[in-house]
Amino acid sequence: MKRRDFFKTSVIAAAALTGTSLTATQRPIDNRKISTIAFPEKKPMITYSDRPPLLEAPRSVFTQKFTPNDEFFVRWHMPDIPTYIDTNTFKIKIHGLVDKPFEVTLNDLKTKFEQVEVNAVLQCGGNSRSAFKPIPGGIQWGSGAMGCASWKGVRLRDILERAGLQKDASWIGFNGMEHAAYYETPNFVRELHLEELDDHVIVAYEMNGEDLPYLNGYPVRLVIPGTYSDSWVKMLSEIRVNSKYEKLFFMDIAYRIPDNKCECETPENKAKKTKPITKMNVKSLIGYPLDGVKTQKDSQIVVRGVAFDDGTGIQTVQISTNGGKTWDKADLDDGSDGRYAFRSFKYSFKPKDYGKVTIMSKAINKAGQEQRMPEDIPWNHGGYKYNGIDSVTVEVI
């Protein structure tokens, strides 16, 4: 199937976009009873909405350094996603404070610029929101609203250099092809200051060696390693250079946290001053074993998972099997996939007693930042940036 005909020829996806019912399977996942739906190009995934599509990866995916495309999470904001994209006519418009405004085609990106690849984690700012206590409003993501991929495309800096930035150029605005159902709803536009631009920021058309999946932003999306996914605009169609910051709903109202030292507030007292979420904090997740797994006494359990941060770099991952009383170092991979990618870890032990055993993982980065116990995580109304120590409980029989 041609990717441009993806939604036009897919009964399931058409149902998702038109709001008609899809066949869902109810099954327990991570101690939650969740609906799973197999969207086109995807395996059955935890599904919170079919319009717009909101799909979460299962915990078991995170034993791998790179997340398979067909299990990579999906997060759209607007329900109106194009059902047909003709890549022969598709263009990205570059304009604003540039000397040579132009439009770049998909073929231009592949043939007229230097090709680069960046390994990077993409994570929703609300990932693990359901772990906050009390639970904030919003999509009740578990821990699977994230993934790591190898992204291929063109440096944003190279595209802007071809356009020629004018003297007063300071901010870059990005818009995609998703639209709201009602005209009064603002477009999902994001802005980036020129000082935030480096050679890792790219306009990507490939993901893990394949065309971007339609639900992950085909034909091109913005990639900003180290930052939360709300800045990674999908189906990128416009790049506009401005002299001043433009007030935007999804930067000035949505995706914000308290602007104080602890980045915290209480349900009763909302912070008066806020700031956008940007850089990811340090985090680890256990992919195996899963909650509820039964194992034999004195049999070897190999704990596997992944860790990451904003690119500062993971220093160590520690594992506890006694409720956090003591911690042992896990074995980390060599980090050769780059500072923005998952670092996989593993840890082996043999349970000596019968009953339930809770396995915990804690990542610490090179700046000394580390995951904290869930009860010590600062709370915010948006349910953003959760990075509590991860845990799974197995039963020794």
Mean per-residue pLDDT for 67-85?
92
Q: Rounded distance, CA 361 to CA 303, Å? A: 9
Q: If you average pLDDT over every residue of the chain, what do you get?
A: 90
Q: Rounded distance, CA 98 to CA 102, Å? A: 9
pLDDT of 21 above 50: no
Mean per-residue pLDDT for 205-231?
96
pLDDT of residue 190: 82
pLDDT of residue 280: 97
Closest CA to 147 of 58, 44, 54: 58
Cα–Cα distance list, 285 to 33, 71, 82, 224, 269 (Å): 20, 16, 34, 22, 31
Domains, the chain, with CATH or none: 3-72 (no CATH), 91-276 (3.90.420.10), 283-396 (2.60.40.650)
pTM of the model as a whole = 0.91
pLDDT of residue 314: 98
- At 269, the pLDDT band (50, 70, 90 cuts) reads very high
Cα–Cα distance list, 28 to 24, 58, 146, 299 (Å): 13, 11, 20, 26
Residues pairing with 332 in the sheet: 345
User: What are the helix (H) ranges across 154-260?
Assistant: 156-163, 249-252
pLDDT of 71 above 90: yes
Per-residue pLDDT tens over the stretch 80-92:
889 889 999 999 9
